[in-house]
Amino acid sequence: MSTAAAPRSAAPALSVPPALSCHEVHVTFDETEALRGVDLHLAAGEWLGLIGPNGAGKSTLLRAIAGLVDHGGEVSLGCGQRPGGTDVALVPQIPILPEGMTVAEYALLGRSPHLGWLATESRRDRRISSEVLERLDLQDFADRPVTHLSGGETQRVVLARALAQEAPILLLDEPTSALDLGHRDAVLELIDTLRRSDGISVIAAMHDLGTAARFADRLALIDRGRIVADGPPRSVLAPGRLSDVYATPLSVHTVEGEIVVLPAPRARRDHQP
Amino acid sequence: MATLPATGETHSATQRAFRLPPLAAAGTFVALAAVALLSATTGAAGLAFGDVLTALVDRLPLVDVDSQLSARQQGILFQIRLPRLVLGMLVGGSLAMAGAAYQGVFRNPLADPYLLGVSAGAGFGAVLALGFGLDVGWGPFDALPAAAFLGALVAVTASAAIARGAWRSPATLLLGGIAMAAFFSAAQTYAIGQLSETRTREVLSWLFGQLSTSGWRQVWILLPYVVICGAIVLLHRRHLDVLRVGDDEARSLGLNPGRARLVVIASASLLTAAAVSVSGLIAFVGLVVPHIVRLLVSHSYRVIVPLSALGGAAFLALVDTGARTLTAPAELPVGVITAFVGAPFFALVLWRNARKVAP
């Protein structure tokens, strides 16, 4: 399962992005255990989908990896170091969009972890940010306030900030929960293209199981703070296990080669009150 | 990004969106220079425009031009008008920059040294030092700003503590500030009541917010604080932008929000305290100036912080010129005029914010 990437060698050039591993990660909020010992490995260039019901700990795991919550256990890069702002970029579920900030300024924020103590952007930082905007087809929005965008545009702008961070690992927390079907697939396709062209790795927490299976190389199913299944989508999405974890009868089908998870027909729910 | 798909030609429009507005910066500099000249040539002594310029040029090293000013006029220019002008600029720049900094760290558009109770706290500290004759100094560092700083820090900490993390809600933070301002004003009044009559008059005239100076002394008291704290706030201007996306996302962008906030609050409070200790309570400069910059130029603190410093300098120098000439030979306290301008402006900003929140 775990194909731990070669550790960052003596050559400082990031030709092989470091993989990430979590070892016995615990998070406790006010005596409730949100994560109870998570072990997880991410190979370089891999798309790992995190699935599980609401409150299972998907977001908490992403936040622990990004270093936003205190946690026990260890999160480390391939080289053994704790990941920082130049290693992982987080796309939050509900980003805060500051009043009056332009798209260009917002994307430029992604350069923050790269700046020195003078905190002044160089020409290079501006160039990287504007290139990212162009790749995401946002060049015409550069001067627009981030608060005046549609849902799909907003998602691309937040993604632009994360890409400007030039981190080899991208963490996505329900990246498309606010989007309709067409925009959702467009954004995910875009992320997948960027992943392949830049060799970045992705960990994405997603609600829609079929979509998660379609984009991820591997799925990890989280239930009450623990990973209960980890492997290729087809093996993780077993109807019995899913029905258990989601506490509702579910059936798994294959339609034109894609996995689809559906609620079991109502007639078969007779054992439920 | 190793393998960029061909993005050879970069749209100039996209590139331009990343630059800071050079025109606005130049404009603010010009405005500052114009206000300085206006202020230097306005007043009872009626110094002529050209004469002032030549007298200034004459002071440059290695330059020797003959100005038409008499020795008495030179004295007025260099010992009365210029020190007061420079002091006004430093105080105005400090207060405006502190206001911008507070607005940034609290993510609250209505934060201002005066409204947060910081000025009142600094005033109380200064009254104690001034009234009870605390007179120790170390080089250019005087006891007065230190006492004012302590008061300012207590006030801003208490205001923030009362708001209990709900800093973004303008109302909560301001109510904390009002409570602190009321408390320190009362403490101040009590302290003044304990003073002798001559001391009382001295302290009261200072409290109204006056920029009357005796030579360059106050400028030298204030200058080190402006240079050091101003530099620190300037270095944090970009961090203030990062803080706007919230503490969580700021942390994921590599910033330690708690530490950045602490450093900026301490610097802004020291800046306020130093300004208050030489000029008394001057209200609303820290609110009005950053808002004008926002309205006219940009919402980014990379722009707001430096332009507020320059704009605040120009604003207070202009207001002070009015304060000493409008009712000449009598003089208006400069704090009275800034309040006249600032209070309606504050009301306007509050009204616009209230409409935004309303459904």
Contact: B11, A128; criterion CB under 8 Å: no
> Is B247 or B171 the better-scoring residue by pLDDT?
B247
Q: What are the angstrom distances between the C-alpha of B125 and each of A10, A188, B184?
A: 58, 59, 9
Q: CA nearest B10 in A: which residue?
A: A131
> In Å, how far is A79's CA from the nearest CA of chain B?
19
What are the tokens at B67?
């100005």
Average pLDDT over residues A197-223: 92
Pairing label, strands A169-173, A201-205: parallel
Q: What is the pLDDT of residue A6?
A: 41
Please enumerate residues of B whose Cβ is less than 8 A from a Cβ of A. Answer: 1-5, 7, 10-11, 13-15, 17-19, 235-239, 241-242, 244-246, 248-249, 251-255, 294, 299-300
Residue A48 has pLDDT above 60, yes or no: yes
User: Would you say residue A201 has pLDDT above 70?
Assistant: yes
pLDDT at A273 over 70: no
Residue A266 pLDDT greater than 70, yes or no: no
What gap in Å lies between CA B309 and CA B290, rounded to an integer? 9
pLDDT tens string B111-164 = 888 888 888 888 888 888 877 766 555 555 567 777 888 888 888 888 888 877
Distance (Å, whole) CA B357 – CA B44: 50
Distance between CA atoms of residues B234 and A75, nearest Å: 35
Tokens of B355: 């409409």
Asked whether residue B224 carries a pLDDT value surpassing 70, the answer given is yes
Residue A193 C-alpha, separation from nearest chain B C-alpha, in angstroms? 11
Residues A72 and B27: their CA atoms lie apart, in Å, by 54
Asked whether the predicted pLDDT for residue A142 surpasses 60, the reply is yes
Residue A187 contacts by C-beta under 8 Å, 6 or more apart in sequence? A152, A155, A156, A159, A175, A176, A179
Chain A to chain B Cβ contacts (< 8 Å): 114
Nearest CA to CA, how far is A231 from chain B (Å)? 28
Beta bridge partners, A48, equal: A203, A218
The answer to whether the Cβ–Cβ distance between A67 and B236 falls below 8 Å is no
Residues of B in contact with A84 (CB under 8 A): 254
Higher-confidence residue of B18 and B188: namely B188
Contacts of B15 in chain A (CB under 8 A): 126-127, 130
Token couple for A213: 């299976």
* A167: amino acid identity, one letter: A
Identify the sign of the CA torsion B305, B309, B314, B317. Answer: positive
pLDDT attached to residue B32: 93
Looking at residue A121, its pLDDT comes to: 84
Q: Is the pLDDT of residue A4 over 70?
A: no
Does A104 contact B14 at a Cβ distance shorter than 8 Å? yes
Are B253 and A102 a contacting pair at CB < 8 A? no
In this prediction, residue A267 has a pLDDT band, given cuts at 50, 70 and 90, of low
Question: How does residue B197 score in pLDDT terms, banded at 50, 70 and 90?
Answer: confident
Higher pLDDT, B10 or B118: B118
Tell me the chain B residues in contact with residue A143 when contact means C-beta distances shorter than 8 Å: 13, 17
Q: Are A133 and A103 in contact (CB under 8 A)?
A: yes
CB A52 within 8 A of CB A45: no
CB A259, CB A238: distance < 8 Å: no
Contacts of B19 in chain A (CB under 8 A): 126
Strand partners, A169: A88, A201
Handedness of CA B40, B41, B44, B45 (dihedral sign): positive
Helix, strand, coil percent content, chain A, rounded in steps of 5: 35, 25, 40
pLDDT value at position B4?
Answer: 42
For β-strands A72-77 and A20-29, DSSP reports them as antiparallel
Residue B244 and residue A98: Cβ atoms within 8 Å?
A: yes
Q: Are B67 and B54 contacting, i.e. CB atoms less than 8 angstroms apart? A: yes
**Interatomic CA distance for residues A204 and A173, integer angstroms:** 6
Residue to test with chain A: of B168, B235, B253, most A Cβ within 10 A: B253
Question: Counting Cβ atoms within 10 Å, is residue A4 exposed (0-12), middle (13-18) or buried (19+)?
Answer: middle
Nearest CA in chain A to B1: A198
Q: In the structure, what pLDDT confidence band is assigned to residue A109 with cuts at 50, 70 and 90?
A: very high
Asked which of A6-15, A23-32, A60-69, B239-248 is least confident by mean pLDDT, the reply is A6-15
CB contact under 8 A, A126 and B14: no
Give the Cα separation of A77 and A144 in Å (integer): 37
Task: Determine the Cα–Cα distance for residues B338 and A268; give it in Å rounded to an integer.
Answer: 75
Contact B254 A95 (CB under 8 A): no
Q: Which residues of B touch A99 (CB under 8 A)?
A: 299
Tokens 């101003």 belong to residue:
B230
Residue A142 and residue B10: Cβ atoms within 8 Å? Answer: no
Q: What is the pLDDT of residue A115?
A: 87
* CA distances to A143, A258, B103, B229, B306 from A179, in Å: 23, 21, 33, 46, 39
Higher pLDDT, A18 or A75: A75
The CA distance from B256 to the nearest CA of chain A, in Å, is: 11
- CA-nearest of A81, A83, A86, A25 to A50 is A25
Residue A79 to residue B186: CA distance in whole angstroms: 60
Whether residue B94 has pLDDT greater than 90: yes
Mean pLDDT of the residues in chain B: 82
Contact B3 A197 (CB under 8 A): yes
For B243, which residue in chain A has the nearest alpha carbon? A98
Task: Give the nearest partner residue to B248 out of A68, A115, A166, using CB atoms.
Answer: A68
pTM attached to this predicted model: 0.83
Token readout for A52 is: 């599980």
Who contacts B94 (Cβ-Cβ below 8 Å, separation ≥6)? B222, B225, B226, B229, B230, B271, B272, B274, B275, B309, B312
**B62: buried, middle or exposed (CB in 10 Å: 19+, 13-18, 0-12)?**
exposed
Long-range contacts of residues A218-221, Cβ cutoff 8 Å, at least 24 apart: A218/A1, A218/A46, A218/A47, A218/A48, A218/A49, A219/A48, A219/A49, A219/A50, A219/A51, A220/A40, A220/A48, A220/A49, A220/A50, A220/A51, A221/A51, A221/A52, A221/A245
C-alpha span between A243 and B187 (Å, rounded): 67
What backbone phi and psi angles, to 5 degrees, belong to B324? Answer: -95, -5
Mean pLDDT of A237-263: 88
Exposure string for B133-145, b = 16+ CB within 10 A, e = fewer: eeeeeeeeebbbb
- Give the range among A23-37, B83-97, B230-244 with minimum mean pLDDT: A23-37
What is the structure's pLDDT at B13?
58
Statement: residue A140 has pLDDT above 50: yes
User: Which residues of chain A are within 8 Å of residue B248 when distances are taken between CB atoms?
Assistant: 63, 68, 92
The mean pLDDT value for B238-246 works out to 91
